[in-house]
Amino acid sequence: MRKLLPTFNFVAFLLVIIDVCLIDFSLRLVHYWLVSPEITFNQHYSSFYAVFCATWLVSTLLNRAYQIERFMQVNIMAKDLMMTYAFHLTVIVIYVLNLNSEIYIGFVVAVYALSVCLTFVFRFLYINFVRYYKQSGINDTKVIVIGTTSAGITLYNYFNSYKSFGYKFMGFFDQRTRNNPYNHLIKGGIEDVQFYCKKENIDEIFVALEETTPEFIEELQKFADANFIYLRIVFSEKNRSSLSENINVFVFDNINVFSIRHEPLSSKLNQILKRAFDIIFSFMVISLIFPWLFPIVALLIKLEDPAGPVFFVQKRPGRKNKPFGCYKFRSMRVNTQTDMQATKNDSRITKIGGFLRKTSLDELPQFFNVLLGDMSVVGPRPNMQKHLEEYSKTINNYQFRHFVTPGITGYAQVSGYRGETKEHHLMEKRVEYDVKYMEKWSLFLDIKIIFLTVWNAIRGEENAY
């Protein structure tokens, strides 16, 4: 396995410092809540503080919890951390029961609850940030420029001068002329753009032609959407006035570049913000709800239909159509028609399955998909593979909805377009709302959709079956 970060002492040391700060914060906050609002600890709590932190450092060393190669693998990291806390808890329990009886037991429980939560969240944030930084193209966004005009050359000079911004210039596309000093950078004519983009996995296309036609831009936009490429266009003052206000504007030196549609999630900062929210929210759900709800649901599923598993895993197309295993609580009897949508009064659905679907509790295991990075808490719902093949040919912008990570819930679902889509126009409306979500995204909108999802689950939804 290739290392995502080099194994050097400074990184491990930094991780230790952050963990100690999180534990210190937990101790002081819980002390303030449960013991005393005084800033300083008394003698008993001061010694407990020292033993708690020292034991933590010893525990992590024994369990190799800061070995970067192990730290960056989620399953190993989680195992190491749980082993660390198990050893740590044993020592602390012995200390409290035998040497420091003045410590309030509720204080110990609260400290552990908070510190475990904070250290787990920090690790998931760290791991996902590093993976995102290394794998998502932050430092390697491949771009091409159509046109060796003055604007095109300005863009080329910008990409070469500011490589730290993450752009990798791949070439121009234009007609070669005798007096063009940039002929050696021209990869082909305009007719070669689509083939080259597919071959080299281009991330962004910049159109810097002096004259373009609406038909050319429309065709290029359809191609870009279908292949998950961002299209940026340099417009003249004459053309800019005819653009919609709902667009993104980028400035490269003195060149204004536009996108046809508003794309807030094309911003790396917004992507990191959304991912951080996903990790924190999903971890809270898994920590607070899953431990007590899972045994109940698993028992009910097995009692009604003992032949099948508790979980149902189905391949769904994710971001950029990459397939992933989507987790759900099994709500149907074991059958061979798993690629068929559920219908009203579907005989395959069990009694407990009907309740799970009505309340959306069958989707709860997908929070593990969120932690793994396959899904987001909010986003376009991942449809079946056969829908991708069918609707991408008949519905405009269907491919575009896969530009972002799919969600457990979405704008379309809270707007009344949930459940069966046996009529073509219902899927069209879903896609319409998915695109609206992508164009209007904000963290506030995600929180609003989550709230509406919970509210709809409580009151029950007509189309949830």
Q: How far apart are CA 30 and CA 311, in angstroms?
A: 37
Tokens found for residue 157: 């000079």
- For residue 238 the two structure tokens come to 């004459």
HSE-up (13 A, CA, CB side) for residue 40: 2
DSSP state of 217: H
Residue ending a domain, among 201, 228, 262, is 262
Q: 351 and 455 in one domain?
A: yes
Tokens 């007590």 sit on residue = 292
CB atoms within 10 A of CB 123: 23
β-bridge partners, 206 = 145, 232
Q: Which residue has the tokens 């004519």?
A: 189
- Residue in the structure block whose two tokens are 């450092």: 57
Per DSSP, the residues of 55-99 read: HHHHHHHHTTTT-HHHHTSHHHHHHHHHHHHHHHHHHHHHHHHHT
Q: Structurally, how many domains does the chain consist of?
A: 3
8 A C-beta contact, residue 258 and residue 241: no
| Contacts of 141 by beta carbon, 8 Å cutoff, 6+ apart | 166, 167, 168, 203, 204
Place of tokens 């007096």: 179
Q: Which of 262, 283, 299 is the last residue of a domain?
A: 262
Task: For residues 131 and 147, state if they share a domain.
Answer: no
Q: Is 407 helix (H, G, I), strand (E, B) or coil?
A: strand
* 255 shares its domain with 275: no
C-beta separation of 426 from 417 below 8 A = yes
pLDDT, tens digit only, all 465 positions of the chain? 333 333 334 566 777 788 888 888 888 888 888 877 765 666 777 788 888 888 888 887 776 666 655 566 667 777 778 888 888 888 888 887 776 567 777 888 888 888 888 888 888 887 777 666 655 555 578 999 999 998 999 999 988 876 656 688 999 999 888 788 889 999 999 999 999 999 999 999 999 988 888 888 889 988 998 888 999 998 755 555 445 555 677 777 777 888 877 888 887 778 888 998 999 999 999 989 988 998 999 999 988 888 888 988 889 999 988 999 999 998 888 766 656 665 566 667 888 888 888 888 889 999 999 998 999 999 999 888 777 777 877 887 788 888 899 999 999 988 887 766 567 778 888 889 999 999 899 989 999 999 999 888 787 666 554
What are the angstrom distances between the C-alpha of 379 and each of 60, 143, 364, 422, 437?
37, 26, 15, 22, 8
Residues 118, 151: one domain? no
Range of 420's domain?
269-459
CATH at 173: 3.40.50.720
Domain termination site, one of 102, 135, 168: 135
**Domain match, 152 and 117 both:** no
**296 and 359 housed in the same domain:** yes
Q: Do 242 and 311 sit in the same domain of this protein?
A: no
